[in-house]
Amino acid sequence: MPRDPRYDILFEPVKIGPKIARNRFYQVPHCNGMGHQHPSSLAAMRGVKAEGGWAVVSTEEVELHYSSDLSPFNEGRLWDDADIPYHSRVVEKIHEHGSLAAIELVYSSFHSINNYSREAPLSAICRPNDSYDPTYSHAMNKADIKAFRQWHRDAALRAKRCGYDLIYVYCGHNLTLQSHFLSRRYNDRTDEYGGSLENRVRLLRETLQDTLEAVGDTCAVPIRFAVDELLGSEGLSCENEARDVVEMLAEMPDLWDVNIADWDNDSQTSRFAESGYQEPFISFVKKITSKPVVGVGRYTSPDAMVKLIKSGVMDMIGAARPSIADPFLPKKIEEGRVEDIRECIGCNMCVVGDHQAVPMRCTQNPTMGEEWRRDWHPEKIAKKTSDSRILIVGAGPTGMEAAMALGQRGYEVMLAEATKELGGRVRHESRLPSLIQWGRVRDYREYQIRQLSNVEIYLDNQLAADDILTLDANHVAIATGSPWRRDGRGREHHHDIPGLDSNAIYTPDDIMQGATLTGDVLVYDDEHYYMGGVLAEKLCQDGANVTLVTPATDVSTFTHNSLEQHRIQKQLIEMGVTIITTHSIASVAADSVTLACTYTSREQQIAAQSVVLVTAMLPETAVFDALQSHSEQWADAGIKTVDCIGDAYAPGTIAAAVWSGHRYAREMDTENVTGVPFKRELIRLSSN
């Protein structure tokens, strides 16, 4: 289809210093859990972004010196010339598709623990590391400042040799040396680098000038700057000193990449922020500078993008998470296929991968992180190699993904769902407070499936093993999901919780299917992700007096990895939810629950007319087990394989469920692989 002319403005070229970006789509720097340890994966992933139409494709944070070591996190490194080859490979993959390659050099100051290098990081002042690690930074003297400026200049020159087109000066997210010098909280120096704003901005100005002089003849030099820390008078804000900084440096950089700080503000989940939430903070920048401005806001709508350009908020549409969910977002707009965009749901599963120091994953895009090691492409999939007919039992995220991908391969697919709606757990969970965007997982796949004439959907169709044996299917995938356990077993309890038959016991499934609870309700969260917190929120909204109990030290503790734990706990406190941490349920009685401290075993009793157990899920395998017991009939029925996939195989995140369905489709009719089923980055031993 031809491109909608309304979107022509998005495909105009943009001049960035000595470089020209072919359109207005800009993949801003984002971490990915690959970095220096997985360079082939990194290069392939960035190359796919360029292929997908992003005119500028940026790296993650790239450590410019060994005294700014972010281990164990897998960020980039450009410590010396030995790092050039893998960066050159990244650049080559980006240039292969006509895009500009940008590198974000970083010196993380006291944000660096330096567990690998064992060096003391440099900082404006001596202070503890900003984690709970017992390390300190070294207060920089004049010689240290001179050395840092040389390190940054050397790294910029190396980046130029790698072939990068844009070389960043990074002063964002409250994570860099330059931002720490700029901050009144972190800089109490009394020399020319402290005190007044003009003094505190000095190092940033010098770094910017050094970089322009070193590489600005052929490379663009953007600045990444956080214009608001959301701390009021305690921090930089668009109403005070941040605006002054932009005015001071307005025409120096070749581009302004602006956002808010910290990272958990910049990358808020859809549970707490709408698309475009940064606009009120960054909109002033374009009024001050004539240089191009790029910003982010989890944009997936081309109409919203056009509005941003025409209203003068941005010159380029920045994206991290939307470019992960759909690396081909620009191409789809350009080709008139807006309805095919795989929209980001704002769950921050991508961030989880970085925090866990592994290649990132994405709920919407199961190929993310697999571009090199499994040769998975987000828009290309091998055609079928047989005329096999496939039956998928269960149309949750796993079943829908498998049906869609198998259909795209050309297989004849039957998708049977026991209920009257598609979506499974996604359908239910997206109706919980603030999780509506998660419904995009279902919506995208339903639309794609309905375009495929070779995929048949059978709703309100609860199949038994005997039914399946009559359906002329060659392969059967059981994707029946996992209901929540009602016995309390989970991480903390390995046996049934005593006394459950004496009280009103509910599971998340009950609440999501409409159970209404009043009075004193205890939510017991031994799952530690989002479910316990979001159910407590819903029950409180419904009028119950809610107490949330967890064996962990804080609420929804896994969500530290998705940058939202503090927001979840704050919201629950403000709603009036009573929170009891480091306690488990010892026993349940009528109208009360006995809790035990996880450290001392001391008990306390609290009132509860209802108990909601958020402990663990248990795979629903009844159909699979029945088919296994009839395996002698498979050959006569034409069945070659029966597999459990997704939550029916092993419960997990929605991202894991989608990935499982996609893997099943990719591996259909392929030979069984012996050994490791994916490529690995192997380190060659040094001769020393």
pLDDT per residue as tens digits for the range 461-494: 999 999 999 999 999 999 999 999 999 999 999 9
Residue 648 has pLDDT above 70, yes or no: yes
String of DSSP letters for 151-185 = HHHHHHHHHHHHT-SEE-EEE-TT-SHHHHHH-TT
Separation of alpha carbons 651 and 657, rounded Å: 8
Q: Where are the domains of the chain?
A: 5-355, 389-482+619-666, 500-614
The CATH T-level fold of domain 389-482+619-666 is Rossmann fold (3.40.50)
pLDDT at 113: 86
Active-site position among 164, 170, 299, 444? 170
Backbone angles phi and psi of 575, in degrees to 5: -80, -15
Mean pLDDT confidence for 661-670: 96
Residue 673 has pLDDT above 80, yes or no: no
Mean pLDDT confidence for 385-409: 98
Separation of alpha carbons 228 and 91, rounded Å: 32
618 — pLDDT class (breaks 50, 70, 90): very high
Q: What percent of the chain has pLDDT over 90?
A: 92
397 — pLDDT class (breaks 50, 70, 90): very high
Cα dist. 32→76, 348, 362, 385 in Å? 10, 12, 11, 34
684 — pLDDT class (breaks 50, 70, 90): confident
Q: Quick check: is 170 catalytic? A: yes
Closest of 477, 494, 495 to residue 401, by C-alpha:
477
Mean pLDDT confidence for 37-56: 97
Instruction: Indicate the class that CATH gives domain 5-355.
Output: alpha beta
Q: Quick check: is 266 catalytic? A: yes
* Lowest model confidence (mean pLDDT) among 4-13, 133-142, 522-531, 537-546: 133-142
Residue 687 has pLDDT above 70, yes or no: no
Residue 497 has pLDDT above 90, yes or no: yes
DSSP class of 3: P
CATH 1.10.540.10 fits 500-614, yes or no: no
Closest of 240, 273, 234, 280 to residue 258, by C-alpha:
280
* Lowest model confidence (mean pLDDT) among 272-281, 352-361, 433-442, 673-682: 673-682
Question: Rounded mean pLDDT of the chain?
Answer: 96
Mean pLDDT confidence for 638-663: 98
The contacts of residue 466 (CB under 8 Å, 6+ apart) are none
pLDDT at 688: 63
Question: Which amino acid, one-letter code, is at 546?
Answer: V
507 — pLDDT class (breaks 50, 70, 90): very high
String of DSSP letters for 251-307 = TSSSEEEEEESSHHHHT--TTT--TTTTHHHHTTHHHH-SS-EEE-S----HHHHHH
Q: What percent of the chain has pLDDT over 70?
A: 100
242-249 long-range Cβ contacts below 8 angstroms, 24+ apart: 243/284, 243/288, 244/197, 245/182, 245/197, 245/201, 245/204, 246/284, 246/285, 246/288, 246/289, 247/288, 248/198, 248/201, 248/205, 249/201, 249/204, 249/205, 249/208, 249/223
* Lowest model confidence (mean pLDDT) among 135-139, 336-340, 580-584: 135-139
pLDDT at 434: 96
The contacts of residue 244 (CB under 8 Å, 6+ apart) are 197
- 685 or 105, which is more confident: 105
DSSP class of 456: E
Active-site position among 266, 326, 354, 526? 266
Active-site position among 26, 31, 326, 340? 31
Mean pLDDT confidence for 587-597: 96
Query: Using CB atoms within 10 A of its CB, is residue 142 exposed (0-12), middle (13-18) or buried (19+)?
Result: exposed
Separation of alpha carbons 653 and 423, rounded Å: 14
> Do the domains spanning 5-355 and 500-614 agree at the CATH topology level?
no
Q: Quick check: is 86 catalytic? A: no
